[in-house]
Structure 1
């Protein structure tokens, strides 16, 4: 029996589908309603929350492998407490429950955000950072709340490893896949589809969700691979190039106006003031406005050497995502709006 958290998310849903296709027995956690993707009907669903330690312990009865995919991705100041609860305390609950049942193996989904950065390189404008799994978290530097929560979540897993837990960690970059237009990285495709004129200069590191799942399954079922983390990243491209390719796939116009740094700084400050006055969530935050400005590439040679995995090129991933999104929209009769 395999237990999966975050089964309604992008990675979790594709992972469950892959496990079911392999003939694995899958039990998964859900909060509000049972997901409806095709393989979901073959899953034993457990209603609950990763913050409920008792529910997690009960859900691990008879389980041999745990894939912890649940997590909150947010850069809104209002979500700082929720990030701490879900990404840190929730992970601690998973680790503690695994430790209570000897023999369980954990695959934890972290993020490249948990790697921090090279402080020396950041002080040199325009210098490309190349980060590997050996990157050290700079405790004295300022980090987005999301990145901090993923780093602290990883520390919970390392605590479990120190206490005897067999675990492996994956650190994906921006995961691309066909999912809900309003969730996760799929919003990038929605942005391209709706022909927005503006884009921010900078790079985006990307990886196909199918490659993420393949790597997770390979690593999780190799017990000799334990106490390690693996970057999952297919490469980095300018954000404009990504949006232009996605727009072309939809038959739409690509963004054409670069937002200068000073304008981005003005916009996030204006949005912050608006959110304080109205209580509404900011459309752009300081962290999202500055994302991609510091050129960085996440090196994924380790996972390729370990698994033999070769990542799909961006053009193939974009073509697949766009076709899936168009098919899904046509089937549901949905009209994509922003």
Structure 2
């Protein structure tokens, strides 16, 4: 298989390349020059055996050599943090549209183009009414990240008559190398749990190892073309319970002993803004930014996984509890915690 992976150095991209190499598939990777490759090299010891094309998805000319000659493209690159709409537009919409356009020109007979979107493109979901792939999408107002992913999905779907495109919507993803969700574990270690006040909001999640298997299925299953798939565990969890599970499994605290810190939605949004500003100084992605504050204040972030199970035969290895424990053990082994 001749495969191109965009965003290979990121959290999901690095884990996906690790999976490919475990299958004796050595992909071509498209990354920015001088990007941080530390996680990629850690997770993919065979990294020197891979082919590298350096460029920027906002630059069409740099995309051309990357797409030539490949049979499958797994587009994982994207912008998850930013301080303006234009940053999310350029990182998610423009970059994806450029990739599709150049692929049409340079490689119109490609077998599959798999685009990683996000559950927030579809909008909120609750345990009683989880988000499904085929229901109308309603991203939250002012959630620039969700709106940028939704807009990109709409533009991608218009090209399915020209290219075999598949769209993936993951929820919250946890696992080895995730610097964003790491803060959830750090908070529990301190002995507190932080959440939006009011009725507990439920959300879906998935371990990165289960997600990358789903991504690969979307690239190889004959019934995947033209479809959108959610990849999430059965059942949901609230942030209050999530912190308690982490504290119990990793730090041997008694369940229910964490100090609760409920934050009203307006203040939660303000905290997201402050953490964005701090991240510009620290150069570390914040767990909470303004789009995530908007999402966390919604009625819920749950999704159905039935379509992936029925059509693709996707079956997760982890449960939400074992996924949290596995991710936390990795942080401990790396001495992050």
Tell me the alpha carbon deviations over residues 213-235 of structure 1, each in whole angstroms, 9 at most, x when there is no partner.
11111120124421000011113
SS at match of 1:83: helix
Partner of 1:243: 243
Task: Tell me the CA shift for residue 21 of structure 1.
Answer: 1.4
SS at match of 2:130: strand
Residue 306 (str. 1) matches residue 302 (str. 2):
no
Residue 195 (str. 1) matches residue 196 (str. 2):
no
SS at match of 1:168: strand
- CA separation of 1:117 and 1:44: change in aligned 2, threshold 3 A: same
Partner of 1:102: 108
Task: Tell me the CA shift for residue 61 of structure 1.
Answer: 1.8
- CA separation of 1:184 and 1:41: change in aligned 2, threshold 3 A: farther
Is the 8 Å Cα contact of residues 85 and 144 (structure 2) preserved in structure 1? yes
Partner of 1:148: 147
Q: Which whole-Å CA distance do the structure 2 matches of 1:245 and 1:46 have between them?
A: 42
- CA separation of 1:274 and 1:212: change in aligned 2, threshold 3 A: closer
More displaced 10-residue stretch of structure 1: 203-212 or 153-162: 153-162
- CA separation of 1:21 and 1:133: change in aligned 2, threshold 3 A: same
Partner of 1:122: none
Partner of 1:45: 52
Q: Which runs of 4+ in 1 moved over 4 A?
A: 269-276, 279-284
Partner of 1:15: 16
Task: Tell me the CA shift for residue 42 of structure 1.
Answer: 2.7
Tell me the alpha carbon deviations over residues 37-94 of structure 1, each in whole angstroms, 9 at most, x when there is no partner.
22423321222111111111111121110000011113x5x23211000100000011
SS at match of 1:297: coil
TM-score normalised over the length of structure 1: 0.83
Task: Tell me the CA shift for residue 188 of structure 1.
Answer: 2.2
Is the 8 Å Cα contact of residues 265 and 289 (structure 1) preserved in structure 2? no
- CA separation of 1:16 and 1:284: change in aligned 2, threshold 3 A: closer
Q: Which whole-Å CA distance do the structure 2 matches of 1:4 and 1:298 have between them?
A: 26
Stretches of structure 2 lacking an aligned partner (at least 5 in a row): none
Query: Across the two proteins, how many residue pairs are aligned to each other?
Result: 314
Q: Which whole-Å CA distance do the structure 2 matches of 1:250 and 1:16 have between them?
A: 28
- Say which of 259, 262, 283 aligns to 1:259: 262
Is the 8 Å Cα contact of residues 199 and 256 (structure 1) preserved in structure 2? no
Q: Which whole-Å CA distance do the structure 1 matches of 2:263 and 2:321 have between them?
A: 27
- CA separation of 1:194 and 1:256: change in aligned 2, threshold 3 A: closer
